[in-house]
Amino acid sequence: MSASLQFQRYHALDALRATMMLLGLILHSAASYTARPLGAAWPYHDQQTSLWFDLVVFFIHLFRMPVFFVVAGFFAALLYERDGAGGMARNRLTRVLTPLALGWVVLYPLTVAGFVFALGRGPTAGAPGWGYLTTGAFLMQANLIHLWFLYDLLLLYGAALVALPLLRRSPNGLRQRVEATFSRLVTSAWGPFACSAATAFTLVPMSIAGLDTSISFIPPLRILIAYGVFFAFGWLLYTRRDLLKAFGRRCRWHLLAGAVFGGVYLCVVLRPPFEDAVSNHLVGIGTASVAIWLLIFGITGLFVRYVDRPSPVVRYLADASYWMYLVHLPLTIWIPGLLAHAALPGVVKFSIVLSVTVCLTVWTYDSFVRSTPVGALLNGRRYPRALPRSAVSGAVAKLPFSRVWESVRH
C-alpha cells in the first residue's frame, strides 16, 4: 500500500471528532437550565428551567465521549504506525499534554470564579464567597474541569504503548482470530448489540446508569476501563480501516434504533420505572449500552457516507474545534451568571449563552490562534486566517451584549 493511501486524510473522522467537541458547547450551555439539578457536576442551577434541556444534556452525554474515544483510538493507531512509538509519544505530549497543562492553569481559576459569581447571583443557598477564590482555598479541591478527557487519553496512550509490544508477541493465529471477529462485528447488522455486551459489563460498577465522568487527577479504574473499550475499538478499526465504508451501509437503521434505545434510556434515567434502585440501574445500563453502540455505528456511518470529502468549511471547523472546546467552559458559566436576574425564558437564555460562546470562541481562534504558535501547537501547523476581518468584527459587534446588559440591569 502506498504512503499516500496508507496515511490519507480521513475527512469524515476529522469532522466527526470536531462535531463531538462542539457538542460539548451545547451540553454545557444547556446545563444551567435543566429541570433536574445536576449537583456537583454543574453547581449552578438557574430559576428558568425546562425538561427539554434535561433531554439535551443526558442524550448528548450518552454518546458524545464514546464516539470521541473511538475516533481518538483510530488516530492514535495511525500515529503509531506512521511515526512509531517514540513519534506517537512526542506528538501526544505536544498536542495533548501541553494544551492540557497550559489550559488548566488559566481555565481552572476562571471556571471556579465563574461558579462563585453565578452561585452568588442565583437562588442557591450557601454559595461560596469570593474568599474561596482569593484565599486559594479552591486549590485544595483542584480538579481537571472539562479537560478530564485529555488527561484520560494520555493514560490510555501510555497503556497502549506498554501493551502493544506485549500483544505483538501473541501467536499469529490469535491475532488473526481477533481481527476476523472484529471484522464480523463491523460488517454485521447486529455488531452494535454484540459490542454493547462488553460496555454493559463495564457500566455495572458505575455510580449512575450510564458512564460516570471523573474530573479527579486519579480517575477511578472503572472509568478508564469503560472508555478504554471505545479507544481499543477505534484502534482496531484503524487496523481494518478498509471496513470504514461498512459503517455507512446501515447508518440510518443504526441511528433510528439508537434513537429508540436512547429514548428508553432517557425515560429510565429521568422517570425511573421501578421502586428499587438496582432494577433501575440494570435496566438503565442495559439500554444505555445498546444505545451507545448503535449511535457509535450510526453516527460514524453518517459521517463516512456523507462527509468523507474535502470541504473548506468543515476543515476550518475541525481545526477550530479544539480551541473552541478548550476555552468555552468559563463562558458557559459566567454568561448564565450575568443572566441570572434577567426575566427571560430558559430557552432564550440558553440561546444567548450558546450564540455568544460560539461567536467569541470562533473570533478568538481566527484572530489570535489560527495563524500563531498557539495554532501550530493545537493544529500541528499555522494556517492563514480564513475569516474576513470585517465579517468577524461584524459578527462580534452583533452579539447580544447590550440586550444582556440591559436585562441584567433591570
DSSP codes, 302-322? HHHHHS-S--HHHHHHHHHHH
Q: Three-state SS across 194-231?
A: HHHHHHHHHHCCCCCCCCCCCCCCCCCHHHHHHHHHHH
**Span of 87-96, 128-137, 175-184, 350-359 with lowest mean pLDDT:** 128-137
Mean per-residue pLDDT over the chain, rounded: 91
Average pLDDT score over residue span 337-365 = 96
For the beta carbon of residue 200, count every other beta carbon within 10 angstroms. 18
Contact by Cβ (8 Å): 28, 107: no
Alpha-carbon distance of 333 to 119, in angstroms, equals 10
The whole-number pLDDT of residue 102 equals 97
Q: In the predicted model, is pLDDT for residue 380 greater than 50?
A: yes
Q: In the predicted model, is pLDDT for residue 402 greater than 60?
A: no
Per-residue pLDDT band for 396 (boundaries 50, 70, 90) equals: low
Long-range contacts formed by 19-22: CB under 8 A, 24+ apart: 19/303, 19/321, 20/64, 20/65, 20/67, 20/68, 20/71, 21/68, 21/321, 21/322, 21/324, 21/325, 22/317, 22/321, 22/324, 22/325
Q: Is 115 exposed, middle or buried (0-12, 13-18, 19+ CB in 10 A)?
A: buried
The whole-number pLDDT of residue 391 equals 52
Alpha-carbon distance of 254 to 293, in angstroms, equals 9
pTM score, whole prediction: 0.92
**Is 50 strand, coil or helix?**
strand
Its sign, for the CA torsion 279, 262, 294, 299, is negative
* pLDDT more than 90, % of the chain: 80
The whole-number pLDDT of residue 23 equals 98
- Residues 6 or more apart from 65 whose CB is under 8 A from it? 20, 149, 211, 213, 227, 230
The whole-number pLDDT of residue 397 equals 55
Average pLDDT score over residue span 71-85 = 97
Q: Which residue reads 505530549 in cell numbers?
A: 93
Per-residue pLDDT band for 103 (boundaries 50, 70, 90) equals: very high
Q: In the predicted model, is pLDDT for residue 378 greater than 80?
A: yes
Q: In the predicted model, is pLDDT for residue 385 greater than 70?
A: yes
Average pLDDT score over residue span 110-118 = 94
The whole-number pLDDT of residue 1 equals 39
Q: In the predicted model, is pLDDT for residue 398 greater than 70?
A: no
Q: In the predicted model, is pLDDT for residue 125 greater than 80?
A: no
Per-residue pLDDT band for 11 (boundaries 50, 70, 90) equals: very high
Alpha-carbon distance of 356 to 338, in angstroms, equals 12
**Is 124 strand, coil or helix?**
coil
Per-residue pLDDT band for 262 (boundaries 50, 70, 90) equals: very high
The whole-number pLDDT of residue 217 equals 96
Q: What is the pLDDT of residues 213-259, one digit of tens each?
A: 999 999 999 999 999 999 999 999 999 999 999 999 999 999 999 99
Q: Report which of residues 338 and 4 the model is more confident about.
A: 338
**Span of 131-140, 331-340, 358-367, 381-390 with lowest mean pLDDT:** 381-390
The whole-number pLDDT of residue 400 equals 52
Average pLDDT score over residue span 100-128 = 88
Per-residue pLDDT band for 352 (boundaries 50, 70, 90) equals: very high
**Span of 91-95, 219-223, 393-397 with lowest mean pLDDT:** 393-397
Q: Report which of residues 258 and 3 the model is more confident about.
A: 258
Measure Cα distances from 200 to 53, 58, 391 in Å. 26, 18, 48
Buried b (16+ CB within 10 A) or exposed e, 251-271: beebbebbeebbebbbebbee
**Span of 6-15, 184-193, 259-268 with lowest mean pLDDT:** 6-15
CA 316 to chain centroid, in Å, comes to 18
The whole-number pLDDT of residue 320 equals 97
Q: What is the pLDDT of residues 38-55, one digit of tens each?
A: 988 999 999 999 999 999
For the beta carbon of residue 391, count every other beta carbon within 10 angstroms. 10
The whole-number pLDDT of residue 176 equals 85
Its sign, for the CA torsion 58, 64, 70, 72, is negative
**Span of 151-160, 249-258, 395-404 with lowest mean pLDDT:** 395-404
Q: In the predicted model, is pLDDT for residue 389 greater than 80?
A: no
Q: In the predicted model, is pLDDT for residue 123 greater than 50?
A: yes
Q: In the predicted model, is pLDDT for residue 127 greater than 80?
A: no
Q: In the predicted model, is pLDDT for residue 2 greater than 50?
A: no
Contact by Cβ (8 Å): 215, 143: yes
**Beta strand residue intervals within 91-201, DSSP E:** none
Max CA separation in the chain (angstroms) = 73
Q: Is 161 exposed, middle or buried (0-12, 13-18, 19+ CB in 10 A)?
A: middle
- Residues 6 or more apart from 120 whose CB is under 8 A from it? 127, 129, 337
Alpha-carbon distance of 178 to 175, in angstroms, equals 5
Alpha-carbon distance of 365 to 385, in angstroms, equals 9
